[in-house]
Chains A and B, each alone.
Chain A
Amino acid sequence: MTTRAISQIHQFLRPFAFCLIALWGLGAPVMAESWSPAMAEEAKTDAALFVGSFAQKGINDILAAPIPEAEKSERFRAMFKTYFDLPGIGRFVLTRYWKAASPAEQDRFTKLFEDVVVYTWSRRFSEYNGQTLKVVSQQPDGDDGTLVKSTIIGNNNSHFGVDWRLKKRPEGYKVLDIVIEGVSMAITYRQDYSTIISQTGSFTGLLDQMDKQVADLKAQQKK
């Protein structure tokens, strides 16, 4: 009886197992088709190609590249800044707090958030072993938005879903959110951060904790 109960509740948690792999499989993907610079131009208007291009670049320049770990994380930072809409993510993650914050605070948050993502993800780059990404479909997602569905395929034939929420900006598509097996990065950070703001009583309290987290993550990377 209790046995059954436990087995069922754990069913709910299974997808977590995949989030981990997804996070570093992310940059991983190989599109079977050949890739040319001309297609990069096209990627500015085609959402599926945009995701494919991000994936292809991630694997060639970072995951499978024979370069030191520190170099990988700096390359990832450059890519993250180009492909992701950081202020847009900041607005969503902080919602009401973003509007109440001063431009200097917003700027500090964006920089810290960038560090959090770069150092969290790059710790796992060395574990990459050949996962590939396949774009499954794309569909409209609100004003100027597109939801691209993709699958990451591991070498033991495991597969799980990663959805990309893209928004068309004047300079082309930008990623606003990544949803791994149903778990949105942006929504999870939003709840996490709003708890910290309530606990510490201020936006500065959140920034200070992020500062500390970045320092911890950096220290781990050196080992």
Chain B
Amino acid sequence: MKSIPRFPIFHSLAVARILGAFLLMATLSACATKPPASNPMALAAYEEANDPLEPMNRTMFKVDAGIDHVLVRPVVKGYRAVVPDAGRQHIDTFINNLRSPITFVNDVLQGQIRRASITLGRMVVNTGMGFFGFWDVGEKLGLESHSEDFGQTLAVWGVPDGPYVYVPLLGPSTFRDGFGLAVDSFLIDPWEWYSRGTGSLDWVQWAYLGTTLVDKKDAYQDALDELKKSSLDYYSALRSSYRQIRAKEIRNGAPPPLEDFDQ
């Protein structure tokens, strides 16, 4: 039986090299010009955005919009036409269940033992009683789902999010969250260890990649379209929304910080 050829991009080493090259390109590329101190309004806006790589990020944002138009959107349209709402929900639940070990490890690293036990409980119940994770039995038992990653763990440990980065297909991120993603993917994820050990599961990886992409794009496409319509500069609106969503995830349900509306 002929095995499916391995694509070098799926070797960890190759991925690490690409990430390295990307970061090098990022640091070498033209940076946004910092406004002079004589223009305090522009300077404050620049600092709030924390996006020194903005010119490169905007280029990547355009590239992503192109990929979205020719590839992702038509695929999502087909997916919605073929798979009914309920089916898409089950696929989403399944994918989230596969990633729950990462949430569990990060719950523990953050010292959140209660949340870790909820994650573990969901993993066991959904895999065992929910037909390998397609049914969210945990939710029905009052175990509410949440998601953790190493970027959030670093934040809890006091690491600031750093400059904003936009990567085509992956979407918005920051230096801290990008690093966290690498740690989750290469060091924490048990599926990664498993497939590295067996080394023969390329088709599974491809299928998983495709399904995940389509599932997530399906889940947020309408909301992103809405954000695009309601904003003047979609890039800035998305950057701001991303940071706020991350801040909320890191707070784990604690109330948001005060905003002074009467300044």
Contacts and interface: CB of A to CB of B under 8 A. Distances in A.
Interface of A: 1-20, 23, 85, 88-89, 91-92, 95-97, 100, 116, 120, 139, 141-143, 145, 147, 156, 163, 165, 167, 176-177, 179, 181-184, 186-199, 206, 209-210, 213, 217
Contacts of A182: 244-245, 247-249, 256
Contact of B261 (A8, A92, A197): A92
Contacts of B184: 4-5, 8
B233 A91 contact: no
Contacts of A142: 258, 260
3 nearest A-B pairs in the assembled complex, by CB-CB distance: A182-B248, A10-B216, A16-B223
A58 to B, nearest CB: 18
Interface in B185-201: 185-186, 189, 191-192, 195
Main secondary structure of the interface of A (DSSP, over half): helix
A209 to B, nearest CB: 5
Nearest to A194: B45
Nearest to A143: B262
B173 interface: yes
B222 A17 contact: yes
A94 to B, nearest CB: 10
Contacts of A177: 259, 261
Nearest to A97: B41
A1 B185 contact: yes
Nearest to B260: A142
A7 B99 contact: yes
A5 B185 contact: yes
A122 to B, nearest CB: 12
A55 B250 CA distance: 29
A147 B191 CA distance: 42
A183 B242 CA distance: 8
B24 interface: no
Main secondary structure of the interface of B (DSSP, over half): helix
Given A11-B99, A14-B220, A6 B212 contact: yes
A47 to B, nearest CB: 14
B120 interface: no
Interface string B225-263: 111011111011101111011111100000110111111
Contact of A3 (B212, B236, B258): B212
B205 A16 contact: no
Given A91-B263, A192-B233, A141 B258 contact: yes
B181 interface: yes
B256 A163 contact: yes
A179 B256 contact: yes
Given A187-B240, A198-B42, A3 B209 contact: yes
A207 B12 CA distance: 49
Contacts of B220: 10, 13-14, 16-17
A136 B261 CA distance: 23
Interface in B1-44: 9-12, 15, 35, 40-42, 44
Contacts of B143: none
Residue of B12, B206, B212 with highest tally of chain A CB at under 10 A:
B212
Given A191-B240, A195-B49, A116 B230 contact: yes
A114 to B, nearest CB: 14
B235 to A, nearest CB: 8
A189 B227 CA distance: 10
Interface string B106-120: 000000000000000
Contacts of B181: 5, 8-9
Contacts of A5: 15, 170, 181-182, 184-185
Contacts of B240: 187-188, 190-192
A156 B85 contact: yes
A6 B64 CA distance: 14
A48 to B, nearest CB: 15
Nearest to B221: A17
A139 to B, nearest CB: 6
Residue of A19, A100, A195 with highest tally of chain B CB at under 10 A:
A195
Contacts of A8: 99, 102, 149, 181, 184-185
B166 to A, nearest CB: 11
Nearest to B186: A1
Nearest to B102: A8
